């Protein structure tokens, strides 16, 4: 029983015990309390508090996963994020745009690994219009009915909608009407305009991003919450991110299906720097679980932390994916292991029952 282990290791006293009692009664963590937890709470206390909120949704030793590939259909991008090692400007000599058959070859590789989900992720390609995306998504769904697709990210959706001078509602309606089920919350990084101005001023402003995500959800498609940490963001920017996201999820009555936090890979990027220590990632994961109490699923990132990410299950996470490929993070230093059994063994050694799960369904397909 993971939560009892954590609690036994760090019996809570004082304000932590009061907070635990409030969380057990269904209460909420406030932003100033999250800041205090971050700076003062021992690791074991964070685990114990995260276990309380996790326990509202999941058995203490239960966790789920699936195998997925990120298919990077193009590396052409005009957004110029300084934390990205993947993109190439349109006139660079080493740009690419995968053909349909090349996309299928990537999906075939996933199937050879026993995977069941594909997430498409490219860049802000100025030559691709909405019909290109719709044609690609329609064709791959027809060829691979057994595979689930995260068709694109909110950031890519925003770019293609703006490029064609469509409102987000109009663009979302076109995708939904042609069978797109998911436009996930990728590209969120840190949802704070100070961060955005420093590192990707051409990408979006936070309220614009949320307007786009609102339109996607209103059209009946699914979406997710995401976050990336470990750039140069101070604590208040991280807190602003989870605060804005929790308020959005409240407004949306829980329509975002999951929240995933991963860590910045700095290698070969303009921003550079060093990787976030594992313990900082785990502690932040616990803060996310405690604060984001309106997300049933909090996911830990094998993509950027390899098997050590499974420790995140002790810090409030309940789900993860086993990635088979993702050029974006690999270009920035991520190493993807295909020793899936080894990763799963690490989770089981921690005392978790790991079950391969079916893909989540968008909110509009879930019966109330």
Q: What is the CA radius of gyration of the chain?
A: 20
Q: Is 124 in the site for ligand SF4 (CB under 6 A)?
A: yes
Q: How many whole angstroms separate alpha carbon 249 and alpha carbon 246? A: 5
Report the residue from 77, 190, 288, 303 that binds ligand SF4 according to the rule CB under 6 A: 77
Torsion angle, alpha carbons of 235, 293, 155, 114, to 10: 110
Residues 150-169 that bind ligand SF4 (CB under 6 A): 155
Contact between 86 and ligand SF4 by CB under 6 A: the answer reads: yes
- In whole angstroms, what is the distance from residue 249 CA to residue 239 CA? 15
DSSP for 39-76, written as a single string = HH--HHHHHHHHHHHHTTTS-TTEEEEEEEEEE--B-B
Least distance in angstroms from the C-beta of 96 to ligand SF4: 13
Contact stretch for ligand SF4 (CB under 6 A) within 6-14, 19-27, 75-83, 95-103: 75-83
CB of 156 to ligand SF4, least distance (A): 8
Q: What's the min distance (Å) between Cβ of 150 and ligand SF4?
A: 15
Neighbour-count burial of 290, counting CB atoms closer than 10 A to its CB (0-12 exposed, 13-18 middle, 19+ buried): buried
Tell me the window of 16-24, 84-92, 104-112, 138-146 that interacts with ligand SF4 (CB under 6 A).
Answer: 84-92
Indicate which single residue of 6, 52, 66, 81 sits in contact with ligand SF4 (rule: CB under 6 A): 81
Which tokens sit at 295?
């997300």
**If binding is defined by CB under 6 A, does position 84 make contact with ligand SF4?**
yes
Query: Phi then psi for 308, rounded to 5 degrees?
Result: -60, -20
State the nearest-atom distance from the C-beta of 260 to ligand SF4, in Å.
16
Least distance (Å) between residue 121 CB and ligand SF4: 8
Which residues lie below 8 Å from residue 277, measured CB to CB, with a gap of 6+?
A: none
Nearer to ligand SF4, 117 or 328 (CB): 328
| 35 scored as a contact of ligand SF4 (CB under 6 A) | no
Residue of 357, 315, 341, 348 whose CA lies nearest to 68: 357
Q: Rank residues 87 and 284 by Cβ distance to ligand SF4 and give the closer one.
A: 87
- Which tokens sit at 308? 């050590």
Q: How far is the CB of 88 from ligand SF4 (least distance, A)?
A: 9
The residues of the shown chain that bind ligand SF4, judged by CB under 6 A, are 77, 79-81, 84, 86-87, 123-124, 155, 200, 203
């Amino acid at each position: 029983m993971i939560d009892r282990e954590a609690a036994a290791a760090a019996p809570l006293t004082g304000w932590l015990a009061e907070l635990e009692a409030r969380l057990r009664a269904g209460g909420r963590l406030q932003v100033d309390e999250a800041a205090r937890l971050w700076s003062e709470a021992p690791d074991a206390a964070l685990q114990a508090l995260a276990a309380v909120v996790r326990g509202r949704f999941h058995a203490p030793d239960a966790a789920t996963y699936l195998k997925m590939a990120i298919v990077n259909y193009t590396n052409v991008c005009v957004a110029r994020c300084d934390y990205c090692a993947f993109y190439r400007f349109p006139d660079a000599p080493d740009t690419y745009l995968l053909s349909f058959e090349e996309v299928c070859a990537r999906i075939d590789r996933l199937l050879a690994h026993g995977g069941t989900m594909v997430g498409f992720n490219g860049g802000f390609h100025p030559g691709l219009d909405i019909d290109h995306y719709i044609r690609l998504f329609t064709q791959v769904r027809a060829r691979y009915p057994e595979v689930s697709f995260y068709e694109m990210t909110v950031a890519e959706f925003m770019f293609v909608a703006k490029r064609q001078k469509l409102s987000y509602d109009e663009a979302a309606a076109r995708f939904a009407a042609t069978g797109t089920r998911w436009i996930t919350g990728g590209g969120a990084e840190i949802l704070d305009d100070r961060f955005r101005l420093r590192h990707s001023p051409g990408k979006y402003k936070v309220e614009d991003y949320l307007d786009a995500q609102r339109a996607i959800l209103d059209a009946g498609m699914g979406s997710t919450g995401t976050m990336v940490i470990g750039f140069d963001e101070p604590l208040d920017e991280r807190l602003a991110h989870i605060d804005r996201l929790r308020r959005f999820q409240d407004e949306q009555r829980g329509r975002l299906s999951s929240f995933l936090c991963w860590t910045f890979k700095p290698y070969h990027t303009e921003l550079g720097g060093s990787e976030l220590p594992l313990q900082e990632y785990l502690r932040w994961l616990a803060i996310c679980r405690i604060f984001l109490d309106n997300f049933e699923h909090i996911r830990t990132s094998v993509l950027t932390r390899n098997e050590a990410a499974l420790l995140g299950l002790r810090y409030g996470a309940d789900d993860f994916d086993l990635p088979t490929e993702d050029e974006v993070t690999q270009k920035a230093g991520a190493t993807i292991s295909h020793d899936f059994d080894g990763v799963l063994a690490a989770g089981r050694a921690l005392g978790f029952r790991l079950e391969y799960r079916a893909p989540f369904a968008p909110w509009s397909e879930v019966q109330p």
